[in-house]
Amino acid sequence: METVTISQIEERLEKLSPERLQVVYDFVSYLAEREQGTIDLPIDSEAFQTMLASEAVLRREWDTPEEDAAWAHL
């Protein structure tokens, strides 16, 4: 996997709608918490179930040929 710079990410973010930015922010927040090991949600909690559903939505949204083509040059 190639390294992505913050400036490359910022370029992409500047093109997103406010609604999409909220989705990205939520996902990045989740990744940061996961990386730091600060996620402490009981498996049966509503927050945990929402997190799992969000992962599925993001996967479906981003795992497309169009997204692959858009990111192929990186």
**What does 43-66 look like in DSSP terms, one character per residue?**
TTSHHHHHHHHHHHHHHHHHSSHH
pLDDT at 14: 95
What is the reported pLDDT for 7? Answer: 94
Nearest in space to 24 (alpha carbons), one of 69, 62, 50, 66: 62
d(Cα 66, Cα 73) in Å, to the nearest integer? 13
pLDDT digits (tens, 9 = 90+) for 38-57: 666 666 778 777 887 888 78
Identify whether the C-beta of residue 71 lies closer than 8 Å to the C-beta of residue 2.
no
pTM, rounded to two decimals: 0.46
Judged by average pLDDT, the poorest of 14-23, 28-37, 63-72 is 28-37
Q: Is the pLDDT of residue 5 over 80?
A: yes
| pLDDT value for 59 | 80
